[in-house]
């Protein structure tokens, strides 16, 4: 990879760029991708070098009848060989800015206590660490 890093918000026109991406936990499923792009409130920004997707950050707008919209950052990932270059920070900053521009008044995420690189990233973005959190799941949601 020789070119500059470029950043793109996911939309119907550029979704095909993700089809061969290997920065996700699993291979991109065309039907899941189509549903993600076509459903309002799901956001993703991804980074490319040349024709390769080398990172992404995704999240979802959370609505509730008694609270202003909030934004949950679901996942952040950068290809191992491209880490420690500021890519994850840029992805997160842009995703957070987009959420704020959309009217979200709270932005949050969760990570494991032992995930030191992720915790360092979020602290560098001036996030407040709130302490331990207990997570419950159904149907293996946390196994992915």
Least confident among 20-24, 68-72, 134-138 = 134-138
CA-derived radius of gyration, the chain: 15
- Domains recognised in the chain with CATH numbers: 5-143 (3.40.630.30)
**DSSP reduced 3-state for 126:** coil
Which pLDDT band, with edges at 50, 70 and 90, does 1 fall under? low
Mean pLDDT value across residues 13-34: 95
Residue 2 reports pLDDT greater than 90 = no
pTM confidence score? 0.92
Residue 132 reports pLDDT greater than 80 = no
Cβ–Cβ under 8 Å, residues 48 and 23? no
**Among candidate residues 78, 91, 69, 124, the one with its CA nearest the CA of residue 8:** 91
Mean pLDDT value across residues 136-141: 88
Rounded CA gap, 1 and 48, in Å? 10
* Tokens 């159904």 found at: 138
The confidence score (pLDDT) of residue 127 equals 95
Mean pLDDT value across residues 87-115: 95
User: Which of 95 and 133 is assigned the larger pLDDT?
Assistant: 95
How much is the mean pLDDT over the chain? 94
């Amino acid at each position: 990879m020789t070119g500059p890093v470029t950043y793109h918000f996911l939309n119907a026109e550029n979704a095909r760029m993700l089809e061969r991406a290997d920065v996700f936990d699993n291979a991109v499923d065309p039907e899941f991708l189509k549903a993600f792009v076509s459903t309002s409130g799901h956001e993703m920004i991804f980074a490319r070098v040349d024709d390769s997707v080398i990172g992404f950050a995704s999240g979802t707008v959370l609505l509730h009848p008694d609270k202003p919209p909030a934004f949950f950052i679901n996942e952040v990932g950068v290809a191992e060989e491209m880490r420690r270059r500021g890519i994850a920070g840029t992805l997160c900053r842009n995703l957070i800015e987009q959420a704020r521009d959309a009217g979200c008044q709270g932005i949050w995420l969760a990570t494991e206590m032992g995930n030191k690189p992720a915790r360092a990233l979020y602290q560098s973005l001036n996030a407040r660490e709130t302490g331990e959190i207990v997570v419950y799941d159904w149907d293996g949601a946390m196994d992915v």
